[in-house]
Amino acid sequence: MKKYRVTVNGTAYEIELEELTGAAPAAAAAPAPAPAAAAPAGGEQVTSPMPGTILDVKVSQGASVKKGDVLMILEAMKMENEIMCPCDGKVASIHASKGAAVESGTLLCVIQ
């Protein structure tokens, strides 16, 4: 145990911290989920504009889509956001499923 003095908003506090060995580095070293398979050449990648949860996937692999069609519904900050198709084409692959938590920039699907 190590003792430290910390001042917060002008008030001094004395705290004790226990150094843990082995457990903390193992938790920190847990690998992040590997990115989904690379998009096929020439495909238009649709990524998440913000962190959130996928509420619904409105398309299936192989479906024909037009620019402006709703691909998925993303809930972020208690708002439902429609992820729209950026171009006409066919859904080559879907990389997110209903209920999945996604970060900003996460690949959601590929349109060819």
Contact yes or no for 3/14 (Cβ under 8 A): yes
Instruction: Give the pair of three-digit tokens for residue 36.
Output: 């989904």
CATH among 1.10.150.110, 2.40.50.100, 3.40.50.20, 3.40.50.9100 for 44-111: 2.40.50.100
pLDDT for 5 = 86
What are the residue ranges spanned by the domains of the chain? 44-111
CA dist 4 and 71 (Å) reads 53
3-class state of residue 36 by DSSP: coil
3-class state of residue 83 by DSSP: strand
10 Å Cβ neighbour count for 29?
Answer: 7
For all residues of the chain together, what is the average pLDDT?
83
The structure's pTM equals 0.61
What are the backbone dihedrals phi and psi of residue 75, each rounded to the nearest 5 degrees, phi first? -95, 125
The pLDDT tens digits of the residues spanning 25-77 come to: 444 444 444 444 444 456 899 999 999 999 999 999 999 999 999 999 999 98
